[in-house]
Structure 1
Amino acid sequence: MASANTPKKRRTDNQSSEETPIYVPNPHLEKMKEDVLYHFALGTGTHDFPALFGDVKFVCVGGSPSRMKAFITYIAEKLGIGNSGCDFPNICAGSDRYAMYKAGPVLAASHGMGIPSIAIMLHELIKLLYHSKCSNVTIIRIGTSGGIGLEPGSVVITKQSVDATFKPQFEQVILGKSVIRNTDLDEELAKDLLECSKELDQFNTIIGNTMCTLDFYEGQARLDGAICLYTEEEKLQYLQAAYKAGIRNIEMESSVFAAMCNLCGIRGAVVCVTLLNRLEGDQITTPHDVLSEYQKRPQKLVEHLIMKQLGKK
């Protein structure tokens, strides 16, 4: 296998008819008699992965278990799977870390909040797809974010994830050494999603850079945390500089998501709705019913893409 830092080339539209299996840059997996996906409560010795997941073509991941269950119920209805009000069981019910649901070729999984949580989930998810002998898989993160210079309710399709210093990279310490990984996301997939938004014509959607931070409060220049040792003027200068750098929203998972998709040759996208304009404030005061409608927007966009690519639109 290739070095752990060597990205696998992603499938392009010209290769869409080819079977592109999941690639895992880890030669040690082949030596293991059994692979226990501990945080999913699944294992190759106890579950038939190809039978359970071999038909998966789309994986949608998001922070909240309830949001992912709502998404799988929504996509199942569109696909005509199950009866009205059908309950989809949590495949990872043996664990309280993550939740996972499946409807036909679509898998949905929660990832919690922040880089460490989504990284653990992605390691096990990618191995699940690999053991299941899946091919031509697209993974999309759908979620919420803070916008920069955008009206609340706008949807941002991430072009590139940048860190809190605006660098387009994901840095991780491995064996005591700093490793820098690429955070570009699939350009053609982003364009496909933008085209779907035009076809829906229901809400403002753009392609822009996303800042991925290690913290919700100080790391995102908020004034309302327990600790804040900078001024409001300094906060605004920082966020305005981010806007000038092409950053249109802030969240906490996109960098490692992009890096891992790149390393494993998986088409990946990040689609997040903005809940507020951070240039105008820090706290979310929008009514709950409005926020609920906002949170459905990435789901609607991704559902449209999935149905279109499955030839059902």
Structure 2
Amino acid sequence: MATAGDKTKETGNHSNDCSIRLENPNIAAMKEDVLYHFSLSTSTHDFPAMFGDVKFVCVGGSPSRMKAFATYVAQELGLEEPGVEPVNICAGTDRYAMYKVGPVLSVSHGMGIPSIAIMLHELIKLLYHARCSNITIIRIGTSGGIGLEPGSVVISQQAVDACFKPEFEQIILGKRVVRSTHLNNQLVQELLLCSTELDEFPVVVGNTMCTLDFYEGQGRLDGALCSYTEKDKQQYLKAAYAVGIRNIEMESSVFAAMCASSNLRAAVVCVTLLNRLDGDQITSSHDVLTEYQQRPQRLVGYFIKKCLKKA
């Protein structure tokens, strides 16, 4: 049996091939692959016909936000049909929502590592079965900022865990498996250039801390449980800032790890809803928060439009 200290290190160093890499030899032997949480199956759906032209995948927590993003992208790309709303491809389930606009797929992932991990397993298999290649995948979402004004957008240099390590650790068959959480640096620079060209709101590049919880895991003082002081919290957050961490959320580490393992060019773009050095509760008005949440969408929409113009 594995001990608590056993670890398997996976670095994600692979070839320069642009196709989806499915690191599971069992899939090839399956007559049917049921993507249960998407309500899709290789025996009932023609994945290459449905998704073969996809080049950009954008994922975010809320189904309504990803529907709004699909609508926005349709407008930006000139693919909007008056009076026609985006169709949820996963309408057969209430777990996730998925919308397709030309070469762009917009998918919700729920909240936290377990929820996004389940979605990513099925999304990666979907792209593989559809024989997609040269995919760029971007998580767009919200976060708590550290030392930033609310409304600032953070492009993640890398995802780190709550101990500030750039790795994602998971227990598999009783063993600790550790995967790298580095993101695509070229994509970071491309997005940063787009933010300069857009010039609509503050954008920074920094490390993103991914936690397992919204309250204690992020050092909040307002949860049902709290075993530390304001001083403890401030020391922790200031230490995080000192090592380049600029925001905190709950999905980036597994997102970075799984995308790297699957040969997906990935980025994380999140807006900050508050400065955690100043407080723990989100108190901005609904209208302000709505505008903040649109900022990653506008940046990524601009990036996609720019890429398609070059193609």
Normalising by structure 1, what TM-score?
A: 0.95
Query: What residue is the counterpart of 2:25 in the other structure?
Result: 27
Amino acid aligned to 2:51:
F
1:45 Cα deviation from its structure 2 partner: 0.4
Distance 1:143 1:173 in 2: 27
Please, which of 152, 156, 159 is the counterpart of residue 157 of structure 2? Answer: 159
Report SS of the residue matched to 1:311.
helix
Aligned twin of 2:196: 198
Q: Distance in 1 between matches of 2:82 and 2:204?
A: 34
- Is the Cα–Cα contact under 8 Å of residues 158 and 269 in structure 1 kept in the other structure? yes
* Cα distance in 2 between the residues matched to 1:281 and 1:167: 25
Q: Is the 8 A contact 2:9 2:178 kept in 1?
A: no
Equivalent residue, structure 1, for 2:14: 9
Matched, 1:81 2:86: no
Alignment partner, residue 171 of structure 1: 169
Aligned letter for 2:282?
A: I
Q: How many residue pairs end up in the alignment? A: 304
Q: In structure 1, the residue corresponding to 2:128 is in which secondary structure?
A: helix
Aligned to 1:148: 146
Give deviations 1:36-72, integer Å, cap 9, x for gaps. 0000000000000000000000000000000000000
Match of 1:101 in 2: 99
RMSD value over aligned CA atoms? 1.5
Is the 2:211–2:248 Cα contact (8 Å) retained in structure 1? Answer: yes
User: Residue 50 of structure 2: which of 39, 43, 52 is its match?
Assistant: 52
Aligned runs of 1:1-313 on 2, under 5 Å? 5=10, 7=12, 9=14, 20-311=18-309
How many angstroms does 1:20 deviate by? 2.0
* Structure 2 portions without partners, runs of 5+: 1-7
| CA distances 1:71-127 after superposition (whole Å, capped 9, x unpaired) | 000001111113234211110000110000000000000000000000000000000
Query: Which amino acid in 2 is paired with 1:7?
Result: G
| Contact 1:4/1:263 (8 A) holds in 2 | no
- Contact kept in structure 2, 1:77 and 1:84, CA below 8 Å: no
C-alpha contact 1:8 1:264 (8 A) present in aligned 2: no
Q: Distance in 2 between matches of 1:7 and 1:290?
A: 39
Q: Which amino acid aligns with 1:144?
A: T
Post-superposition offset of 1:245? 1.1
Identity %, equivalent residues? 70
Q: Are the equivalent residues in 1 in contact too, given 2:208–2:245 (CA < 8 A)?
A: yes
Distance 2:296 2:10 in 1: 31
User: Structure 1: which 5+ residue stretches go unaligned?
Assistant: 12-18
* Shift in alpha-carbon separation, 1:191–1:298, aligned structure 2, 3 A: same
Q: What is the CA-CA distance between 1:10 and the residue it aligns to?
A: 6.8
The CA distance in 2 between the partners of 1:56 and 1:28, in whole Å, is: 25
Moved more, 87-96 or 76-85: 76-85
Partner of 2:26: helix, strand, or coil?
Answer: helix
Paired with 1:312 and 1:266, the residues of 2 have a C-alpha distance of 20
| Residue pair 2:11, 2:180 contacting (<8 A) in 1 also | no
**In structure 2, what residue type is equivalent to 1:158?**
S
2-side partners of 1:4 and 1:57: how far apart?
Answer: 30
Do 1:139 and 1:269's aligned partners in 2 also have CA atoms closer than 8 Å? yes
Work out the CA distance in 2 between the residues paired with 1:175 and 1:205: 41
Whether the 8 Å CA contact 1:159–1:207 is kept in 2: the answer is yes
C-alpha contact (below 8 Å) 1:88/1:101 kept by paired residues: yes
Query: Are the aligned partners of 1:8 and 1:23 in contact in 2 as well (CA < 8 Å)?
Result: no
- Displacement of 1:21 in angstroms is 1.4
Query: Structure 1 residues 6, 277: closer, same or farther in 2, change over 3 A?
Result: closer
Whole-angstrom distance in 1 between the partners of 2:83 and 2:180: 42
What is the CA-CA distance between 1:292 and the residue it aligns to?
Answer: 0.5
Runs of 4+ in 1 over 2 A off after TM superposition: 3-11
CA distance in 2, matches of 1:63, 1:4: 28
2-structure distance, mates of 1:260, 1:294: 28
- The TM-score with structure 2 as length reference comes to 0.95
Instruction: Give the partner amino acid of 1:210.
Output: T
